[in-house]
Amino acid sequence: MALLFLILLPLFGVGESQPSNPLNQTDLQVAMDDMRTSFYYGFVILLKILNSAPNSLHEGQITFLMPNDEELSKVALKLDNLQDFILSHSIPSELLLSHLLHFPNGTLVPSSVPNKMLRITNSGRLGLFVNNARVVTPNVCLNSLITCHGISTSMTFDSADSYPIKSSFVHVKRRPALH
């Protein structure tokens, strides 16, 4: 049976009452330049649309997982679910390929969407998978604090891996037990 680890990465904004600041725009522009250099044009366009909406990308470490343009064109996307799509394709932590490779096989990491978890599977020669998607172009973003990797397809989520919503898991730690 695969060993299952749950890594609790710092989730930005969690449990904080003050509104979080937007993602550093300098870093974002540099990261988008890196993405363009590796032909992830569609993902850049989606990021620009999302970034134009206030309060949609928050400051803090982030790793984007980017399907290529052909894969993105297959996704049923609406403006309503753009934020969910982008955030579920990101991890609120700076994870280079070397970090991902050091996770125990089967590690679950939170995506930037509170109840969506990502499972890191090391399939040896077949490659490193995040959920159903293989990391095909690692470390695309290297010139800013934002990290990003190209993945083989858009992510699907196993409902068994979902986690109780953010607020409940934060409150368990912060509040004394109710009697």
Ligand X SMILES: *[C@@H]1O[C@H](CO)[C@@H](O)[C@H](O)[C@H]1NC(C)=O
Binding site for ligand X (CB under 6 A): 2, 24, 26-27, 105-106, 121-124, 145
Q: How far is the CB of 86 from ligand X (least distance, A)?
A: 20
Q: How far is the CB of 175 from ligand X (least distance, A)?
A: 32
Whichever of 72 and 133 has its CB closer to ligand X, that residue is 133
Going by C-alpha positions, the residue among 165, 154, 159 that lies closest to residue 130 is: 154
Whichever of 84 and 161 has its CB closer to ligand X, that residue is 161
Going by C-alpha positions, the residue among 174, 178, 177 that lies closest to residue 15 is: 174
38 contact partners, CB below 8 Å, separation of at least 6: 137, 140, 150
Q: How far, in Å, CA of 152 to CA of 172, rounded?
A: 36
Q: How far is the CB of 113 from ligand X (least distance, A)?
A: 23
Q: How far is the CB of 9 from ligand X (least distance, A)?
A: 21
Q: How far is the CB of 43 from ligand X (least distance, A)?
A: 21
Whichever of 3 and 76 has its CB closer to ligand X, that residue is 3
Q: How far, in Å, CA of 61 to CA of 174, rounded?
A: 23
Give, in order, the Cα–Cα distances in Å from 117 to each of 52, 84, 132.
Answer: 26, 13, 12
CB 64 within 8 A of CB 89: yes
Whichever of 25 and 167 has its CB closer to ligand X, that residue is 25
Whichever of 81 and 123 has its CB closer to ligand X, that residue is 123
127 contact partners, CB below 8 Å, separation of at least 6: 134, 135, 136
